[in-house]
Amino acid sequence: MSLTAQKMPNRRLETPSHGTIAKERFVLMNAGPTQPRPANQHLRRNPPIAGEQEAIDNARNGDARAFETLYAMHKRRVYSLCLRMLGNVAEAEDLTQEAFLQLYRKIGTFRGDSAFSTWLHRLAVNVVLMHLRRKGLPQVSLEETLEPSQDDGPRKDIGARDLTLSGSIDRVTLERAIENLPPGYRLVFVLHDVEGYEHNEIAEMLDCSIGNSKSQLHKARMKLRDLLRTGQRKEQIA
Amino acid sequence: MIVLRAPEKTMTCAEFQEKLPELFESQAGLDGHDHLKSCENCAALVRDLEYIASQARLLLPIHDPGPAVWENIQQAIRQEPGPAVPGPRK
């Protein structure tokens, strides 16, 4: 039996309302997040953290201990985001460091229009994207993402009934499969399905069309399905 | 006289899968879609893709950076203009 015939309502992070923002401003120049719209429906992922507001206020006034407190509160989320987007521990640690340095420099610009964690999260996404841009973006969008191979096209043998995933994925297996996604697919999948960004936001971040974002997400899910089913086959053989 | 007709096939699997990215994003795109009523393979595919997306939403941040990250941040901040940070806690 396969699970979840339900639709896929994306739980959404509260994220900035961009309007028209030039890509250079967004990706290359502005590692700080734009000011998000007011907090609303994303409490599950942005629950209030006891002591956070006080730490923010004190850190803005130059309290080093308060900044350390903010690091302790948010390091896991920022690092996990970097690691999932990059798939590389060393790079993820470097960019976590960069994100918190950006936070140190920009915390005075945080206006409190959104949850602090959402604002910091977006700052971290921007840091990662800047890093990938500096590397020339081959990992983000080219080859397998914009020019998919025939393997990515429609297939007639999909959905063989003996190998539906049917509720069999555990977290570790899924994390490992995500790591093995081609980088461009992984980026869109993590931003959309894991982190909850909308296609219009991803399109703006990656400077691609909304249709392209949807297409890459779909290919990423298809590729994940292949990876997961391959894993199941190996387990069955073993 | 009763004329028996084969059910009209409105969409092939390839055509359906071409449209899947858009169908997933549209509010009523997949509920009761004609093709899914008659094609178990594509229905299983849709279930799997929905399942993958639902599981991804459950992934929580579980990874912690190594201690060197904070040490490097502290070191870098000391060189920044602005508030100084204390040394490592004893």
Indicate yes or no: CB of A159 within 8 angstroms of CB of B42.
yes
Of A70, A104, A137, the position where a domain reaches its end is A137
User: Is the residue at A7 inside a domain?
Assistant: no
Distance (Å, whole) CA A24 – CA A119:
20
User: Is the residue at A147 inside a domain?
Assistant: no
Indicate yes or no: CB of B20 within 8 angstroms of CB of A193.
no
Distance from CA of B10 to the nearest CA of A (A): 17
pLDDT score of A14: 39
DSSP 3-state of A36: strand
Indicate yes or no: CB of B53 within 8 angstroms of CB of A156.
no
CB A191 within 8 A of CB A197: yes
User: Is the residue at A154 inside a domain?
Assistant: no
Indicate yes or no: CB of A161 within 8 angstroms of CB of B44.
yes
User: Is the residue at A3 inside a domain?
Assistant: no
Please tell me whether residues A123 and A195 are part of one structural domain: no
CATH number of the domain encompassing residue A217: 1.10.10.10
Please tell me whether residues A110 and A181 are part of one structural domain: no
Q: Nearest Cα to A100, choosing from B62, B60, B85, B89?
A: B85
- A70 Cβ contact list (under 8 Å, min separation 6): A52, A55, A56, A59, A103
Q: Which of residues 95-154 of A touch B (CB under 8 A)?
A: 96-97, 100-101, 104-105, 154
Please tell me whether residues A51 and A128 are part of one structural domain: yes
Please tell me whether residues A23 and A111 are part of one structural domain: yes
Please tell me whether residues A20 and A105 are part of one structural domain: yes
Please tell me whether residues A133 and A164 are part of one structural domain: no
B15's tokens: 């055509």
pLDDT per residue as tens digits for the range B26-84: 866 687 888 988 899 999 999 999 999 999 999 988 889 999 999 999 999 888 876 54
User: Is the residue at A151 inside a domain?
Assistant: no
- The percent helix, strand, coil of chain B (3-state, each to 5) is 55, 0, 45
- A205 Cβ contact list (under 8 Å, min separation 6): A26, A27, A125, A126, A129, A191, A197
User: Is the residue at A132 inside a domain?
Assistant: yes
Domains of chain B: which residue ranges?
A: 11-81
Domain that holds residue A172: 159-238
Please tell me whether residues A96 and A171 are part of one structural domain: no
Ranges of chain A with pLDDT below 70:
1-48, 137-164, 166-167, 236, 238
User: Is the residue at A55 inside a domain?
Assistant: yes
Indicate yes or no: CB of B49 within 8 angstroms of CB of A221.
yes
Please tell me whether residues A27 and A94 are part of one structural domain: yes
Distance from CA of A102 to the nearest CA of B (A): 10
Residue A192's Cβ-side half-sphere holds a number of Cα atoms within 13 Å equal to: 31
Dihedral of CA A12/A84/B20/B51: which sign?
Answer: negative
How many domains does the structure of chain A reveal? 2
Give chain B positions within 8 Å (CB) of A80: 60-63
Please tell me whether residues A55 and A103 are part of one structural domain: yes
Q: Is A73 on the interface with B (CB under 8 A)?
A: no
- Closest residue of B to A72, CA-based? B70
pLDDT per residue as tens digits for the range A20-64: 333 333 333 333 454 433 333 333 456 668 889 999 999 998 888
Indicate yes or no: CB of A93 within 8 angstroms of CB of B68.
yes
Of A107, A137, A167, the position where a domain reaches its end is A137
pLDDT score of A113: 85
A6's tokens: 């339900």
pLDDT score of B79: 84
CB contact burial A93-121 (16+ within 10 A = b; e otherwise): bbbbbbbbbbbbebbeebeeebbbbbbbb
Q: Which helix (H) or strand (E) holds B20?
A: helix B13-25
Give chain B positions within 8 Å (CB) of A187: none
Of A62, A83, A215, the CB nearest to B83: A62
Please tell me whether residues A202 and A236 are part of one structural domain: yes
CATH number of the domain encompassing residue A115: 1.10.1740.10
Please tell me whether residues A123 and A219 are part of one structural domain: no
A156's tokens: 């007639």
Give chain A positions within 8 Å (CB) of B80: 101, 104-105
What is the maximum span of chain B, computed from C-alpha positions, in angstroms? 95
